[in-house]
Amino acid sequence: MIRFLKAEELEKLLPLSAQVNALHEAQHPEQYRGDATAEEVMGFFSARLSEGAMIFVAEKVAGDLTGFILAVPVVRDASPFLHSVRHVELDQICVDKSCRGQGVGKSLVTAMESWMVQNDFREWKSMVQGFNTHSQNLMRGQGAEVLGLRYRKMLG
């Protein structure tokens, strides 16, 4: 079952959030923290909810979460250089390691897209790290296209 996570349920995200953060920290420890407290993590998600983000969760019948998406609506007026923007940023996605390849990610994205259509959003974007082949495959499988490349150079 896919549903919205309520603010009072944020603690349920902690195991999944830890999985996705550990994956990123293992590849880029200079950027990703592994020492955040449960309160900090829940505070992060609480702040996103209060700013208008949506958290979609996949849940087993027993109530255990098998995945989540943090979807952040982005609405920006035109500038002298860019047209106005109205899209959803797929900021975070995680499918429990034990549930990968079972359609959980696809179901989460489909639910997000249904919500988007109902709320007049016609595009979503997501930045995926080069090492994260699970997310890359999911994005391509959902029909997303690569928009560009992001470069980084560490000095010193």
Q: What is the pLDDT of residues 11-50, one digit of tens each?
A: 999 999 999 999 999 999 999 998 999 999 999 999 999 9
Average pLDDT of the residues in 99-124: 96
Distances, alpha carbon 43 to alpha carbons 69, 84, 113, 114, 149, in Å: 17, 30, 26, 27, 31
Q: What is the DSSP string of 82-142?
A: S--EEEEEEEEEEE-GGGTTTTHHHHHHHHHHHHHHHTT---EE----TT-HHHHHHHHHT
Domains of the chain, start order: 2-141 (3.40.630.30)
Average pLDDT of the residues in 127-141: 92
Q: What is the pLDDT of residue 13?
A: 97
Lowest mean pLDDT of 36-50, 80-94, 139-153, name the range. 139-153
